[in-house]
Structure 1
Amino acid sequence: MTDNNCIFCKIAGGEIPSATVYEDSDFRVILDLGPASRGHALILPKEHFKDLCELDESVAAKVLPLAGKVGAAMKEVLGCSGFNVVQNNGETAGQTVFHFHVHIIPRYEGGPAMVTWTPGNADSTELAEISDSLKEAMKS
């Protein structure tokens, strides 16, 4: 199923032109128009899913292997030394288009710091409380 109002559905379906680097029956992989680095790509499912929580399991099973294939090609062709696989869920997490998608961002030696954070501290009591709450929520 697609959403007629979704720009990523239109791109994934070929209605809007894109710099496509890969396509199969489930996905279109395009170069991002606002790249974080040279070669930044997006994996777009052809079906519409708002985010990871709505993603069909059969589609989900294919995403990481495809990300690895794209990243390996980036290392070979672009000469990047690594790559980030980034997937945002919800506005506060940085999602701006509400169609599940995965960013593959090539990383180059001496390039800018991206997708980093300063580790915080959590005490063992807090970790146990959060762990117990999440376990209970995941039972349903």
Structure 2
Amino acid sequence: MPGIPPYDTNNIFSRILRGELPCHMVYEDEHSMAFMDLMPQSEGHTLVIPKAPSRNLLDADPTTFMWLMPAVQKIAKAVKRAFHADGIRVVQFNEPGAGQTVFHLHFHVIPVYEGVELKPHAGKPMDGGHLSQNAEKIREALKFIS
């Protein structure tokens, strides 16, 4: 597609998919993976990515969404259950002007609570032990999600 740079096979999510970098995994299937965001805006903030190399929504093969969106929905249900959230915000950014900083298609699944503002998505990463505990809560909740 004109105007969209090529996919960078060394982006952080591509490296996670290849097992070169660790993550706090909560879900994986043939087409997608979900893991904890290192700088969560809310307890339980999870990322869902396709395994197919896609820079973002603008260059993804449309069939990618056939497999990815059910995973996003499954993770959203599990996160809502695990963290007793009032709602779930699903966010996806495309290109730097829209706030995309990692150039591999991904969806943010963020639990939200009435009257509670989200934290900024910046700063230092959350403690790994805490992220691991949150990942376990979501894995447990997934047992109840069809």
> TM class by shorter-chain length?
0.7 to 0.9
**Separation (CA, whole Å) in 2 of partners of 1:13 and 1:26:** 14
- The 5-angstrom pairing of residues 1-140 of structure 1 reads 3-112=8-117
The question of whether the paired residues in 2 share the 8 Å contact of 1:30 and 1:41 is answered with yes
Deviation, structure 1 residue 3: 4.6
User: Distance in 2 between the 1:68 and 1:44 partners?
Assistant: 12
Contact persistence 1:51–1:99 (CA under 8 A):
yes
Letter in 2 for 1:5: N
SS at match of 2:109: strand
TM-score by length of 1: 0.74
Q: CA deviation at 1:113?
A: 5.8
Determine the C-alpha separation between the residues in 1 that align with 2:28 and 2:8: 19
Secondary structure of the residue aligned to 2:55 is coil
Query: Considering only CA atoms, is the larger Rg found in Structure 1 or Structure 2?
Result: 1
CA deviation profile, 1:44-77 (whole Å, cap 9, x unmatched): 1122111101111221122222211111111211
CA–CA distance in structure 2, aligned partners of residues 102 and 25 of structure 1:
17
Higher share in helix: 1
Distance in 1 (CA, whole Å) between partners of 2:9 and 2:103 is: 13
Q: Deviations over 1:10-48 (max 9, x none)?
A: 112322110000001111101000111110011111221
Indicate the percent of aligned positions where both proteins have the same amino acid.
41
CA RMSD of aligned residues (A): 1.7
CA distance in structure 2 between the aligned counterparts of 1:12 and 1:111, rounded to whole angstroms: 33
CA separation in 2, counterparts of 1:85 and 1:13?
A: 25
Specify every segment of 5 or more residues in structure 1 that has no aligned partner in the other structure, as ranges.
115-140
Which consecutive residues of structure 2, in runs of 5 or more, have no partner in the other structure?
1-6, 120-146
- Deviating beyond 4 angstroms after TM superposition, the runs of 4 or more aligned structure 1 residues are none
Amino acid at match of 2:102: V
TM-score, with structure 2 as normaliser: 0.71
Q: By how many angstroms is 1:106 displaced?
A: 0.7
Instruction: Say whether the 8 Å CA contact 1:9–1:47 is kept in structure 2.
Output: no
**Could you say which structure has the greater relative contact order, defined with CA pairs below 8 angstroms and 6 or more residues apart?**
2
